[in-house]
Amino acid sequence: MSDAPLAHLDDQVEELLRAIADLASLEELTNAEPTLVGKRSVLSSLQKSLGSLSPEERRDAGARLQEARRRVVEALEAQRRDLEARARVAELDADRLDLGDVVLDAVRVPLGAGHPGIVAITQYALEEVFVGMGFRVEDGPEVESDWYNFEALNMPPAHPARGMWDTFYLELGEPETVVLRTHTSPTQIHLMEKAVAEESLPLHAVMPGRCYRRDTPDARHLAAFHQIEGIVVDRGITFADLAGTIDTFTRAYFGPDIDSRLRPGYFPFTEPSAEFEITCTLCRGEGCRTCSQTGWIELGGCGMIDPAVFAAVGIDAEEWSGFAFGFGIDRCAQMRYQIADMRALIENDLRFVRQFS
Ligand code: PHE
């Protein structure tokens, strides 16, 4: 019975360790500390009881007790560090500005997908159809000289056909020599000049872009609008190629139940020329306000490239022939999405715009 005072030491230590692990707050720890390791603790009373042992027994028992105390104190300190860390986290949590909510609110700010979005959607879809048919997509300037917008297109100064386009002139250079392009046809001229310079004919390209006319906006017209021009210059091109291209495009973009038709027309830069119309998608050909009761909507013009245009850019009309077309992208959007009044495209009414975002 020599070390009888320490007979239950292991169990007592286990119990202390469990009690330490159960401490749930720093406050609890501070309150429990005297009974766990202090003067009022089991370990201290065991210490006192060693007095009754012989000197050798006391040395061994003292060493055991010291080791037991070391474990308990260590466990208590570890628990203290853990509780302190948890208290710090809780404090930081309470202080935290909840950025999660702030960021989400910022994300919810409506970004809009305004009217450019609608025309862009249409432009990209049109480009895709034409790229699928073997055309390349090209770009051209919106500010043009008189030569590109009119003269090279077979309209010398004072040509009466110039009146077909109500033109915005810029105050640059000689009066009435610099214009906001009234159509995308001048880009044809740029591309043909480049192809001649680079000796890279044949040429198959579409050219989308913004155009300007001094028009009063109405259900089918805007003063700033978009066209997509197309050009093919190759050997042996005929009007049948043009008609086939227009028809293939119409069915690919508007669907198989929309018809296209070509009506004789006049453009100084094509001969013969035609106006290109499709079934009005709003009334399916019945006649409505948007199509002025005709059942048809004019999308644009087309024709075989006039030899005078080839001459202006230095292409040999004996060797090459070609066709060109140009039609309204906004008009395509109007027909594709059945927009009764085209002015909706620029009014920025969110109820309209949101349908396309
Ligand atoms: N540029 C003409 C217009 O805007 C359309 C067109 C393009 C006609 C190409 C023939 C060939 O009215």
CATH code (residue 127): 3.30.930.10
Quote the number of domains for the chain: 2
List the Cα angle 340/342/348 in 5-degree steps: 110
Query: What sign for the dihedral angle of Cα 304, 210, 255, 279?
Result: negative
Domain assignment present for 186: yes
Could you give the CA distance from residue 74 to residue 242 in angstroms, rounded to a whole number? 92
Mean pLDDT, residues 90-107? 70
Mind listing the pLDDT tens digit for each residue in 227-274? 999 999 999 999 999 999 999 999 999 999 899 999 999 999 999 999
Q: What is the CA(246)–ligand 1 centre distance, in A?
A: 14
121 with 89, same domain? no
Q: Are residues 140 and 90 in the same domain?
A: no
Same domain, 75 and 149: no
161 and 15 in a common domain:
no
Give the whole-number percent of the chain exceeding pLDDT 70. 93
Regarding whether 172 and 69 lie in a shared domain, the answer is: no
Q: Which of 239, 267, 277, 327 to mutate to test the pocket of ligand 1 (most atoms within 8 A of CB)?
A: 267
Residue 86 scores a pLDDT above 50: yes
Please report whether residue 235 resides in a domain. yes
Mean pLDDT confidence for 122-131: 94
Where does ligand 1 bind, in terms of residues with CB under 6 Å?
183, 185, 229, 267, 270, 273, 300-303, 324-326
Q: Which residues pair with 227 in a beta bridge?
A: 209, 328
C-alpha–C-alpha distance, residues 227 and 220, integer Å:
14
Are 225 and 211 within 8 A, CB to CB?
A: yes
Within a domain: 104: no
Q: Which helix (H) or strand (E) holds 33?
A: helix 26-36
Domain membership flag for residue 340: yes
User: Which one of 94, 126, 144 terminates a domain?
Assistant: 94
**Atom 10 of ligand 1, nearest CA residue:** 302
Residues 146 and 20 occupy one common structural domain: no
- Residues 182, 68, single domain; the answer is no
Together in a domain, 24 and 163: no
Is 280 inside any structural domain? yes
Rounded to an integer, what distance in angstroms lies between the CA atom of residue 70 and that of residue 37?
A: 10
Residue 114, pLDDT above cutoff 50: no
Four-residue CA torsion sign, 121, 122, 123, 128: positive
Compute the 3-state secondary structure of the chain and give helix, strand, coil in percent, each to the nearest 5. 50, 20, 30
Buried b / exposed e along 36-48 (16+ C-beta atoms within 10 A):
bbeeebbbbebbe
| Residue 75: domain span | 4-94
Same domain, 147 and 212: yes
Same domain, 272 and 305: yes
| Residue 335 confidence (pLDDT) | 94
**Distance from residue 317's CA to the centre of ligand 1 (Å):** 20
At 347, the pLDDT band (50, 70, 90 cuts) reads confident
Is residue 2 pLDDT above 60, yes or no?
no
Average pLDDT, whole number, for the chain?
91
Instruction: Identify the pLDDT of residue 90.
Output: 87
Amino acid found at 261:
R
Nearest to 249 by CA among 127, 120, 130: 130
Residue 208 shares a structural domain with residue 315: yes
Q: Quick check: is 101 in a domain?
A: no
The model's pLDDT over 149-198, given as tens digits with 9 standing for 90+, comes to 999 999 999 999 999 999 999 999 999 999 999 999 999 999 999 999 99
What digits encode the pLDDT tens for the residues 295-332?
Answer: 999 999 999 999 999 999 999 999 999 999 999 999 99
Do residues 71 and 130 share a domain?
A: no
Q: Is 110 part of a structural domain of the chain?
A: no
**Residue 108 forms part of a structural domain:** no
